[in-house]
Structure 1
Amino acid sequence: MSAIHTRRLGLLLVALAGTVSLGACSSIGSSTRSALNSVTPYKVEVVQGNFVSKEQVEALKPGMTRQQVREILGTSLLSDVFHGDRWDYVFTIRRQGVEAQQRRLTMFFKGELLDHFEGDPMPSEEEFVAALDTRARAGGKVPKLEASEDELKKFDPKKDGDAKSAADAPSQQNLPPLPPSYPPLDAGR
């Protein structure tokens, strides 16, 4: 056999081996593809904005100052320089397997006082927590979101054994007086 025939035979064997291996890969690939299609990737939960509850909206009254509104709702997400008497509170949540939620609440001011507000109906804090928790609970109850007076007393620092009594605490008369002023931080300059 000549060198050309030997080379052609070698190339033919390489091509045949490649074809057989590709056929084996395609049968493995289809089972691998079906396994990969059954696995869904994790999608990150996206929460943006200020959650405003029904209880917070009920606390709002026309005539409140901007500071009072800010103490109830927090700082607004959107501030428009062209509409200085308007604050927009927007809340959006996107979760895997759940339809995206978006709620809006707009405050309208006249000067420094709240004139009126409008927006979507807001859920109570309890309803919102129930909507977030997709795990099955025994009895389907939402955990209590407030502590009773008796439960708060458990954390009272004046309770016996938790804190020093007034007799054990150092009195203000035993402390040295504060200096009239402190030296500058960069005194060496």
Structure 2
Amino acid sequence: MSLMIRWGRGIALAAALGALAGCSSMRSADRLFGLITPYRIEVVQGNVVTQEMADAVQPGMSRAQVRDILGSPLLTDIFHEDRWDYIFTIRRRGTEPQQRRVTAWFEGERLVRLEAPPLPSEREFVDSIDTFKKPRREPKLALTEEERRALPAPRPVPPEEAAPPAAPRSYPPLEPSAGG
């Protein structure tokens, strides 16, 4: 083989190896050359079931009542009509993927039991998918006794500074008089 063909094959092999190495590093770092981040679609499937929702569901409820609280089940099976499956998955950039399965068991039209893993509260769920983590500061609505004592005493208003009572005001009529 000629020297030119060997060089060409060597360059092609080096380029292929470089591309493969670039692909593997792109998966691990989610960045191309440390500058460009490819777009990743957020995948949300199913029904979010929180602890508050699961607590509201009680044995003996009708199917319609369970549907009102939890929503329509993601899976219903004609071979297992006594079972509704609520499956929830989410993959969102910057957060851990989540997957939960809640199963409602019925006898006829009445709920017998609800099987669920430990579920997050609504606040915990929102915090788990919030990618814009801002430090939450709850507003302070009341002072402690110590803070009240530390406040300066109100300044008494001398009688000469007090405003005299206002004289009653007269306003023109809203509608013109009949004579004018």
TM-score with structure 2 setting the length = 0.57
Q: Secondary structure at the match of 2:54?
A: helix
- Summarize the Cα distance change of 1:92–1:140 in structure 2 as closer, same or farther, 3 Å threshold: farther
Report the identity percentage: 53
The alpha carbon displacement at 1:121 in A equals 1.3
- Aligned to 1:37, which of 33, 39, 57? 33
> Equivalents in 2 of 1:111, 1:36: separation in Å?
56
Which residue number in structure 2 is paired with residue 163 of structure 1? none
Structure 1 Cα separation of the partners of residues 37 and 63 of structure 2: 47
1:138 aligned to 2:138? no
More helix by share: 1
Once the two structures are superposed, what CA deviation does each residue of 1:39-88 show, in whole Å capped at 9, x if it has no partner?
22121110000001110000011110101101101100001110001000
- Deviations along 1:143-163, one digit per CA (max 9) or x if unpaired, are xxxxxxxxxxxxxxxxxxxxx
Runs of 4 or more, structure 1, over 2 Å off, are: 33-37, 96-99, 138-141
Match of 2:52 among 31, 52, 55: 55
Aligned pairs (5 A) from 1:80-99: 80-99=77-96
1:128 aligns with 2:125: yes
Q: Which amino acid aligns with 2:79?
A: F
- 2:113 is matched by which residue type in structure 1? H
How many angstroms apart in 2 are the aligned matches of 1:75 and 1:83?
Answer: 16
SS at match of 1:98: coil
Query: Which residue of the other structure, out of 65, 68, 73, is the alignment partner of 1:68?
Result: 65
Q: How many residues align?
A: 121
SS in 2 for 1:127: helix
How far off its partner does 1:117 sit?
1.3
Letter of the aligned partner of 1:125 in structure 2? E
Contact 2:92-2:129 at 8 Å conserved across structures: no
> What is the letter of the counterpart of residue 105 of structure 1?
V
Alpha-carbon distance in structure 1 between the residues aligned to 2:80 and 2:120:
28
Indicate whether 1:109 and 2:110 are aligned.
no
Local SS of the residue matching 1:99: coil
- Cα separation, partners in 2 of 1:140 and 1:99, compared to 1, 3 Å: farther
Structure 1 residue runs of 5 or longer lacking an equivalent are: 1-14, 142-189
Residue 89 and residue 140 in structure 1: after superposition, are their counterparts in 2 closer, same or farther (change >3 A)? farther
Evaluate the alpha carbon distance shift between residue 41 and residue 67 of structure 1 in structure 2; reply closer, same or farther with a 3 A threshold.
same
CA distance in 2, matches of 1:114, 1:36: 52
